[in-house]
Amino acid sequence: MVDGAKRSNVDGYALVGTALALRGIPYLDGGGDPQGFDCSGFTQYVFAQHGVALPRAVREQCRIGKSVKPEDLAPGDIVVFATTGAGPAHVAIAIGGDEFVHAPSSTGVVRVEHLSSSYWSPRYLGARRLGIKN
Gyration radius from the chain CA atoms: 13
Catalytic residues: 39, 90, 102
DSSP type of residue 25: P
SS3 content of the chain, % helix, strand, coil (to 5): 20, 30, 50
Asked whether the CA dihedral 18, 19, 23, 27 is positive or negative, the reply is positive
**Cα–Cα distance, 120 to 63 (Å, whole number):** 20
Strand 10-11 and strand 132-133: pairing?
Answer: parallel
